[in-house]
Amino acid sequence: MYVLILLRSRIFFGFILLLPLNGHAQTGHRFLFKRGLMGTQFSVTLYAEDSLLAQTAYGRVSARMDSLNQIMSDYLDGSEINRLSQTSGSGQCVPVSQPLYDVLQKAAQIARLSEGRFDPTIGPLSQLWRRAVRQRAFPSATERRRARRSVGYRFMTFDSATQSVRLVRANMRLDVGGIGQGYAVDEAATVLKQAGIQSFLLDLGGDVLAGSPPPDRPEGWRIDVGSGTNSRADPADTLVALLKNAAITTSGDTYRQFTIGNRRYSHIMNPRSGLGLRHFVRATVMAPEGYRADALTKVFSVVSPQKRRALVRRFPDAKVWILENKEGRLRRWQSAQ
């Protein structure tokens, strides 16, 4: 029998679903929470001994996620990341919160290893593309050149002694949209474990992170990734993964792409060219942490087929699957398992 309990509080709004498992209390009960967050849907499935523990743990997770959104969202005018961007070119080394310092350091590390195929300073170009989508007008070459002059992860420096960040060039704008959701689910997992919850599945708009497997499925949480190409896609292009103590993220433009001047562009941007991708790519990455899976989907979406194998060696703990439709030809690629 299902028992549905509605929860409302100042911290969160959602619901929990309590499902007894074969009458064995020692396995715990399954609870499901959902809410809107960061412009997408956030769901938490967890196993706990009782509803009080589940509700308390989820309340802490929800509060943590709201805090991270206020820190990392470049859509919020007063967010910490936007306040930091406003200091670019001033010469200031700005003290920042631990989460912002942490996510920017992780982003810079992946930017270095990927040779700029992922870049957290891509904000000026992101702003151009957001305007292009709204106005259905392609940015001019002059606008793109001006924006690219302010992009470059090497122009972001760190001081660990003071937990400070300096943005060297003027008009820089940080954008951690390509790593922030993965980082957020990592933080949510930490909160759950601190609350004594080990078996859980987190999903923030497709950034999925699993803890220990469900009591009745020791092989892991089943994750299905559709092809994203069309409803008549080959079933072989649907990826099924069993996930435990790991993360998996998929990036694609099935629902987020636009056409300007009879040319199709993806929301996934190559920081090197400053342009959105011109063809469909679905990149799926499994990694130990959510932030790494999230960022690497962007890296492997934009890297050329000839360089994928060499690049994946720099991320030995990641598994990568690529589905690409270029000029009407569907291609598949995956890293060595």
Is position 211 within any domain? Answer: no
Is position 254 within any domain? Answer: no
32, pLDDT greater than 90: yes
Is position 88 within any domain? Answer: yes
Contact 185/41 with Cβ under 8 angstroms? no
Is position 121 within any domain? Answer: yes
We report the CATH number of the domain holding residue 160 as 1.10.3980.10
Q: Which amino acid is at 28?
A: G
Is position 16 within any domain? Answer: no
**What percentage of residues in the chain have a pLDDT greater than 90?**
66
- DSSP assignment string, 83-96: HHHTTTTS---EE-
Q: Does 225 or 229 have the greater pLDDT score?
A: 225
Mean pLDDT of 180-201: 98
192, pLDDT greater than 90: yes
- Token pair for 66: 């709201």
Q: What is the pLDDT of residue 237?
A: 67
24, pLDDT greater than 60: no
Q: Does 228 or 164 have the greater pLDDT score?
A: 164
Is position 135 within any domain? Answer: yes
Q: What is the pLDDT of residue 25?
A: 35
Q: How far apart are CA 18 and CA 32, in angstroms?
A: 8
Residues 28, 47, 219, 35, Cα dihedral to 10°: 160
User: Phi-psi bin for 59: left (phi > 0), alpha (psi -120 to 50), beta?
Assistant: alpha
> Counting beta carbons within 10 angstroms of the beta carbon of residue 2, is it exposed (0 to 12), middle (13 to 18) or buried (19 or more)?
exposed
Is position 288 within any domain? Answer: no
pTM, whole model, 2 decimals? 0.87
Is position 131 within any domain? Answer: yes
Contact 20/4 with Cβ under 8 angstroms? no
Q: What is the pLDDT of residue 108?
A: 98
9, pLDDT greater than 80: no
Confidence tier at 257 by pLDDT (50, 70, 90) = low
Domain hosting residue 123, numbered range: 80-167
Q: Which residues contact 241 (CB under 8 A, 6 or more apart)?
A: 222, 223, 225, 248, 286
153, pLDDT greater than 80: yes
Mean pLDDT of 277-286: 84
Confidence tier at 235 by pLDDT (50, 70, 90) = low
Confidence tier at 325 by pLDDT (50, 70, 90) = confident
Residue with tokens 């509605």: 6
Residue with tokens 């399954």: 30
Number of domains in the chain: 1
